[in-house]
A and B are shown apart, each in its own frame.
Chain A
Amino acid sequence: MIPASFEYARPRTVEEAVGQLALAGEEAKVLAGGQSLLPILRMRLAFPELLVDVGRIPGLRGVRTDGDTLVIGALTSHHDVVHDPLVRRHAGLLAAATATVADPAVRHRGTIGGSLAHADPAGDVPAAVLALDAELVVQGPDGRRSVPAREFFTDYLQTALRPDELLVEVRVPKADAWGFHYEKFQLSAQAWAVVGVAALVRRDDGRIVESRVGLSNMGPTPVRATACEEALAGADAAPDAVASAADSAAEGTRPASDLSASAEYREHLARVLTRRAVLAAADLT
């Protein structure tokens, strides 16, 4: 558990950070809270030549609103996301999912930006951000661009971020009118999700108008349970209808078989947990 040697840079601005990343190319890694990167370094699964520690760049931490959008700085810690009143009011799903990340020590250190840029499909934050239809703002040498969450996660631990780009903020459309629930299934209290379901449901009395369901750990990237979302649109807000829609939750997913669970069991869990998450989000429990 001894990392290989590396150079260390601590830029003071995003521009400086991006410049350092551009110079180092593929050989650099961004260090924010370090909760994913440090274990990888210590186990010698990665040998970056340069760590760009963005942790002290001002302006990347904190939550604000911009019209109908909630703007969360990439360096905002999980702990702050969980407890931020704006997040709780406008994106309760994100607070609920983030509250299940690891343990308090990790939540104090780890950041929303780090979790998204690391893009572990077993993470809790990516599926929630995906369900919330967030936009991820990244900054490179040529300025900023915005990437929809649906296009951000490209493969296992891979994102649309280029080597010289830094994730700077997460823009979440306010979801005040949506019921929400994050249902996480884990093998021990601090473990990764075997499967997680991030559900948002908008009801109009007896019907479900619309739903968005993000799945953790059901493939190389976090995914949306599209078939289930379609089946729920306009469905009765009733347990049977939800159960029937949830039966399609695993459609189109490509879960892995690993030590925690087989793909078959993950598919089963996705169906059961989606039913539970949607029922809870629709206030039907």
Chain B
Amino acid sequence: MTDQLTGREPEVGRARVRKEDARLVTGRTNWTDNITVPGLLHIAILRSPMAHARIERIDVTPALERPGVVAAYTGRDLAEGLGSLPCAWPVTEDIVLPEHPPVAVDEVRHTGDPVAVVVARDRYAAADALEAIDVDYEPLPPVLNMEAALAEGSPLVHADKGTNRCYTWPLATGEDYATVRERADVVLRRRFVQQRLIPNAMEPRAVVAVPPDTSDQYTLYSATQIPHIVRVMMAVVTGIPEHRLRVVAPDVGGGFGSKLQVYGEEAIGLAVARKLGRPVKWTESRSEGYLATHHGRDQIQDLELAATRDGRLLGLKVDLLADMGAYLMIVTPGVPLLGAFMFPGIYKMDAYDFTCTGVFTTKTPTDAYRGAGRPEATFAIERMMDELAAELGMDSVEVRRRNWIGHDEFPYTTIGGLTYDSGNYESATDKALALFGYDDLRSEQRKREERGDPVRLGIGVSTYTEMCGLAPSRILRDLRYGAGGWEAASIRMLPTGKVEVLTGTSPHGQGHVTSWSQIAADVLGVPFEDVEVLHGDTRTVPQGMDTYGSRSLVVGGVAVHRAARKVVDKARKVAAHLLEASEDDLDFADGVFSVKGSPDAHKTIQEVAFATFTSHDLPDGLEPTINAEHVEDPEAFSYPHGTHLCAVEVDTETGRVRIRSYVCVDDVGKVVNPMIVEGQVHGGLAQGIAQALFEEAVYDEEGNLVSGTMADYLVPCAADLPDFLTDRTETPATTNPLGVKGVGEAGTIASTPAVVNAVVDALRPLGVTDVRMPCTPERIWRALRDARSARPEEGSS
């Protein structure tokens, strides 16, 4: 809406072209791998080819004889200066916390576990020299299956711990589930498997570690989402004092959680730089990253849903096994807990009973992957709602309507114990149904079924919510997380009236430079173009909690807003003095302070900035700055929601799924930049659909990752995806001044169940009630064949 007096259009809400993009798309970029430093050496890492083995003997000396090699180290060589890699989320008091050396010393526990490091003058020499290292492995039995891992007598991933059980974390709320269950007319039990996924950021990981030279600081450049957290953790792991360590996240090309991590290679880089006094670089190859960068998901979900005959939910019981992989990384054990509160979704019920058991296996560690816990939870409840609808012969939208929280019931405290501040599920759903043409598609579906069309139509529904804006620090304390959830921002008013915003968020594709400029420009009344946003360097922005969990706008964007308000408050004092008026008599609009009733008496905020710079005429005792900072600790999570509808055609002869149409109506609260929001939704949908139909990390029985390259791990591209029809409703959050809710993960969380529900919906008349993800053509073909042989009287084709 344009301001009627000034003609200025608010920046928040405008589809501004991203400031970042001209530079990024023309290659004026500063990826970590682009960074070069005089005297730079290159690191290559020898990795275990076995899932589980004892290192009987390792000899790196032959590598030293290779041309160009400067140094080579075993795990033992590096162990002296390096501690265990950290886990910041010990979710229970009795959690099993294994040692995690950056380079294995006695035992390797997954294929890809580092066993030796070579440092050479170029990357080729380093890679060649790896071939010369001698390692004798004594094979140990791999541990690959979570249920078998928990059985008595299973081989152990960490023999010294005596168990493969990492922790068990229970939550029971509302009435007693067993009692509620007795009232139920219907009790559904299902097992769903969240397959293991590989995050696949466009930019691989890379590290450049520079020892003290002209300053007394070490500098660590890393392709990371979390430079501030890495700085703290690397100080602990390497013993380099925190004030002597600068961490920089330069341009970072995507993360999806995989760079929300404190990695061994960062510690190795610093340790080698310290030993040699030379700068070093390591850049992973894609196939190396598939082994060495953390994986996501990997849960077995046993679910029980109790309901009445008329489709009202009574209770939900969730029993999870979560694969930790071989070690606990920064938040590995906590990922399923981010979902623990979300299994009830948007629905009302009387009892909720949740248990999660973390299990060690000899696979690459898991950790946060876009959505982190919430996609798993949303998948489970949204699949169950469709199963309930089918069981009761009810429409799948109708069964949701009967159970969701009404728009007049907010704020609403869920059975999971969260208080949803706002939402309007009716309005998002109605809009989505209309855009989708729900009734027409249902009618086409019936016609295809009646004529026995080999290509069936299926319709999938997902009415999701998620919790974003990680996180109120006190809640993190209650969850035993090792840090707070605040975010910092500072604003510098430069003498010429230009503005620098320093943010503790660490964008790696999200467009914070653009969105934060829009937020600051509106509060300060300065042009969008006059704002620069600085981030990702602990020397420039000393305080930050970084970017993950759809938190940046809700916590970091709000911090920018509040810091800018503080700037205006400070500037008001200066302006009042200059205009010889009282502060109360000043209006501030469009960057101009004016005296009420005398519009000719005014000062722009830029004039105030300059007057503060000279400080020749400030009120007595006033600190000569209008710069301000704010650290925002959110009062609550935020709860975006929406309705996603997917129509698929399934070729019952080949099992191939084609997404015919996809409609989503998301409610992410107030929107700062609609173009960025749409981009986030598109990318999120692609990743959620990828889990439903394409991607899976597959291990063989020896524990080798057989989907070890992009030829076998199928990341879909644009040609595999449909046109998305995206729209929004806008129900502002009530717990922050911008009314924003976050959008980074919404598409991923919502889309997976929408697609799988559609696939199952297409096949249900043929006797199929579930298809494991990813729903590959062969899995569907087999499901159809099994269903036919189970019901021979109906097997007509």
Contacts and interface: CB of A to CB of B under 8 A. Distances in A.
B434 interface: no
Nearest to B785: A268
B778 A261 contact: yes
Contact of A259 (B124, B128, B707, B715): B707
B712 A2 contact: no
Interface in A268-285: 268-269, 272-273
A269 B694 contact: no
Interface stretch (B105-113, B518-526, B716-724): B716-724
A188 B714 CA distance: 7
Interface string A37-75: 000001100000000000000000000000000000000
A188 B654 contact: no
A259 B712 contact: yes
B535 to A, nearest CB: 30
Interface in A1-44: 1-2, 4-5, 42-43
Contacts of B677: none
A4 B654 contact: no
A190 interface: yes
B709 A188 contact: no
A189 B776 contact: no
Contact of B285 (A1, A187, A188): A1
A2 B122 CA distance: 11
B695 to A, nearest CB: 10
A124 B107 CA distance: 45
A262 interface: yes
Given A5-B124, A259-B707, A259-B712, A189 B694 contact: no
A2 B711 contact: no
A192 interface: yes
A188 B720 CA distance: 6
A268 B781 contact: yes
A191 interface: yes
A10 to B, nearest CB: 20
B127 interface: yes
Nearest to A195: B654
Main secondary structure of the interface of B (DSSP, over half): loop
Nearest to A190: B717
Contacts, number: 56
A265 B778 contact: yes
Contacts of B778: 261-262, 265
B653 A272 contact: yes
Contacts of B717: 188-190
Contacts of A268: 781
Nearest to B712: A259
B776 A187 contact: yes
A190 B719 contact: yes
Interface residues of B, number: 31
Contacts of A189: 716-717, 719-720
Contacts of B654: 185, 269, 272-273
A4 B128 contact: yes
Contacts of B706: 259
Contact of A265 (B128, B719, B781): B781
A39 to B, nearest CB: 8
B126 to A, nearest CB: 8
A2 B715 CA distance: 23
A187 B719 contact: no
Nearest to A122: B711
B694 A187 contact: yes
B123 interface: yes
Interface string A106-128: 00000000000000000000000
Given A259-B707, A262-B778, A2 B716 contact: no
A187 B286 contact: no
Contact of A187 (B124, B287, B709, B714): B714
Interface string A207-234: 0000000000000000000000000000
Contacts of A187: 694, 714, 776-777
Nearest to A191: B714
Contacts of A273: 654
Contacts of A185: 654, 656, 777
Most buried by B among A191, A259, A260: A259
B698 interface: yes
A221 B474 CA distance: 64
A260 B713 CA distance: 10
B729 to A, nearest CB: 33
Contact of A1 (B287, B698, B715): B287
Interface in B513-546: none
Given A185-B654, A262-B778, A269-B654, 7 more contacts: A1-B285, A42-B285, A188-B714, A188-B715, A189-B716, A192-B711, A265-B782
15 contacts: A2-B123, A2-B285, A4-B131, A43-B287, A187-B714, A187-B776, A188-B694, A188-B717, A191-B711, A259-B706, A265-B777, A265-B782, A268-B781, A269-B654, A273-B654
Interface of A: 1-2, 4-5, 42-43, 185, 187-192, 194, 259-262, 265, 268-269, 272-273
Interface of B: 44, 123-124, 127-128, 131, 285-288, 653-654, 656, 694, 698, 706-707, 709, 711-712, 714-717, 719-720, 776-778, 781-782
